[in-house]
Structures are given as structure tokens and as C-alpha cells.
Amino acid sequence: MARKPADQSVHPDDIILAAADVLQHNGYDTVTMKDIAAAVNLTAASLYHHFRNKDELLLAVLERGLEYAIALLEPIAE
């Protein structure tokens, strides 16, 4: 069965930022996809259209954090 298109009312960047906040305050083991979805006013089912699972979302959060850190350090390295 084909997946429905992702809910376009929330941008994946907004989900990543909300997930980072929720994960920071509650910890990976405690947080559910439902918790993260609630932080951006989505249902858990809608969240799964953007990210397959919590691990994939965590990877997106970590990648975003790394991109941010690199952007801060690049001017120093030049």
C-alpha cells in the first residue's frame, strides 16, 4: 500500500526543532513520536509521513546540530 503524501501544514524543519527541544528536556528513551507530534500540533500518524521512526528523526536532529556547529566554527577556521 502506498503512503499518503506528508502533511504540508508543518515543515520538517519545524518538526526537527521541536523534536530537539522535546528530546533535550525529556530524554530519548522517554519521548514518543506522539510527544513530538503534539509539540507541533500533529497527530503521530501525520508525523510518520515525515519521519519513518524515532531513530530517523533523532538522526535528523543530530545532523541539524552538527550543521549548526560547523557553521559556527567555519569562520574561526578560515
pLDDT tens across the length of the chain (78 residues): 444 555 568 999 999 999 999 999 999 999 999 999 999 999 999 999 999 999 999 999 999 999 999 999 999 988
pTM of the model: 0.83
- Cell readout for 32 is 514518543
Contact 13, 7 (CB under 8 A): no
All domains of the chain, ordered by start, with CATH?
12-77 (1.10.357.10)
Furthest-apart CA pair in the chain: how many Å? 50
